[in-house]
Amino acid sequence: MIRKIQNALISVSDKSELEKVLRSLEKYNINLISSGGTYKKIKKLGYKCEEIAKYTKFKEMLDGRVKTLHPKIHAGILCNRSNKKHQIQMRRNKFKNIDLIIVNFYPFQNTALSKKNSNSVIENIDIGGPAMVRAAAKNFKDTSIITDKKDYGSLINQLRQHKGCTDLKFRKYMASKAFNLTAYYDSMISNWFNKELNINFPDRKTIPGKKLAQLRYGENPHQKSSIYINDFNDEETGLRKITGKNLSYNNYNDIYKGLEILSSFRQTGTVIIKHANPSGAAINKSPIKSFQESLLCDPISAFGGVVVCNFKITKKIAKEITNTFFEVILAKKFDKDALKILKSKKNLILIDISKFKERKNYQIKHFDGSFLIQDKNKKIFDLKNLKYVTRLKPNKQELKFAEFSMNVCKFVKSNSVVITNKFSTIGIGAGQPSRVDSCKIAVEKAKRFRSRKLKSSVAASDAFFPFPDGVKKLIKAGVKLIVQPGGSIKDKESIDIANRAKIKMIFTGVRHFNH
């Protein structure tokens, strides 16, 4: 079912690329109606156009808040051309059908990003535009709606193919895009209000997303996947890819896990991620040493992983990195010599994170028909609330080591046990249903790659030890300080074992499950 376009209403905030569609509309003798800046732009470009105030015989009012909100406009958009009663009413009121709407909205997001006062933000909440878009999208059987300048080319092709008309399939597809846009736009506004009012868990939560890219596939080749941006700035993520193949779902999953851990470091550090778990992490005044220590924790698991560091990659560090196969390297810039070395590795993805910033203070997990939201886990432990439960007490330096160990531990999939020496991981046990199995894995990793570092090491557990078997395993390996939340009915047994072994144990009272 094709529909002839005789009258078109154009009201756009973004006026770029408008001329190419005006040229096509003129070719098919389509009458133009417009207002404000769009009207002036159309006239300046040399095209005939009727101003909305003249068309409706109603001058805009309230500083432009009311101009398109008029029965002549909305009846023209919503009229069902197949309904005789509608046609009679239109003729009686001398209203014309409006067959095409081209609209984009006030720049609400840009205004919100610019941190102007709230009055400026509110004035950039578009009312008339979304009203017209929703009306046209509802009446897609008769009315065409264009909300994205990227679709100008498709409209022009329709007009050319159907000699000034559009077909039903096109109109319905454009309507779906239009409702996606109005939902997205309104969700941005509601989220701005929530942020202004510090409402973290509203009764109704909308999660907007703008598609950034179609990915090669999902976690597995038979799954389709895309990445969306959920932020007022929905044009880029802050991750600038310098070179390498397209990022995959798994790449992004690992990247964001690494960035989350890295953002918790207050010093120069490196994290190596494999399957969304750290295979190694270290902080060190020397950037190259932080990388080396991270790699040495588990050089086999690091193979094919993602390296995330908060410093500039130099030639020396680049040479060190290329001794191992990695998929992705993220850093705060790369010098020229480093780029030459790293670009020689086929398919290696290099990403500059200099402009990356954490944007959200919450996390979302989706299920089939529901989702969970929670605050991000920003806490490690509170020094004031620590309980020194063994006869031997840690000194200030050991407390810093314990803090580093627990900080890494909270990012590892539960059940998690992490063994560290000073500010480097030496053994990581991740994601086991049994905590004692996590202890075994962490110890085995440490013995295999960093056995000399086990002496006087620190072990962190994300939750309490339900039985003292895990504590025994760590003590036997050489751990001298254990930091854990505490709270098990078997705590006394664990403390007694620690005292007999003359090691130190701290209860934090803070659990760090990460499922």
Chain centre to alpha carbon of residue 303:
26
Tally of domains in the chain: 3
Report the DSSP pairing between strands 226-229 and 240-243. Answer: unpaired
- The domain spanning residue 410 has which CATH number? 3.40.140.20
Examine the pLDDT at 318 and tell me if it is beyond 80: yes
What is the Cα–Cα distance from 21 to 147, expressed in whole angstroms?
A: 13
What is the Cα–Cα distance from 203 to 454, expressed in whole angstroms?
A: 50
In terms of C-beta distances under 8 Å and separation of at least 24 residues, what long-range contacts does 47-52 make, across chains too?
A: 47/22, 49/10, 52/9, 52/11
DSSP SS3 for 182: helix
DSSP SS3 for 251: helix
Same domain, yes or no, for 116 and 248? no
- The domain spanning residue 90 has which CATH number? 3.40.50.1380
Same domain, yes or no, for 192 and 222? no
Same domain, yes or no, for 19 and 109? yes
Residue 459: inside a domain: yes
pTM for this one?
0.88
Q: Of 177, 275, 333, 343, which is the active-site residue?
A: 275
Same domain, yes or no, for 31 and 167? yes
Q: Of 43, 86, 96, 138, which is the active-site residue?
A: 138
Same domain, yes or no, for 177 and 312? no
Domain residues for 457?
A: 383-507
Q: What is the pLDDT of residues 388-420, one digit of tens each?
A: 999 999 999 999 999 999 999 999 999 999 999
Closest CA to 261 of 406, 364, 401: 406
Same domain, yes or no, for 81 and 189? yes
Q: What is the pLDDT of residues 98-150, one digit of tens each?
A: 999 999 888 888 888 887 778 888 888 888 889 999 999 999 999 999 999 99
Same domain, yes or no, for 35 and 77? yes
| Residue 515 annotated as catalytic | no
Residue 271: inside a domain: yes
Report the DSSP pairing between strands 504-507 and 387-388. Answer: antiparallel
pLDDT at 483: 98
| Residue 275 annotated as catalytic | yes
pLDDT at 164: 92
Average pLDDT over residues 215-234: 92
Q: What is the pLDDT of residues 256-304, one digit of tens each?
A: 999 999 999 999 999 999 999 999 999 999 999 999 999 999 999 999 9
What contacts 369, CB < 8 A, 6 or more positions away?
A: none
Sole residue written with tokens 């009764």: 203
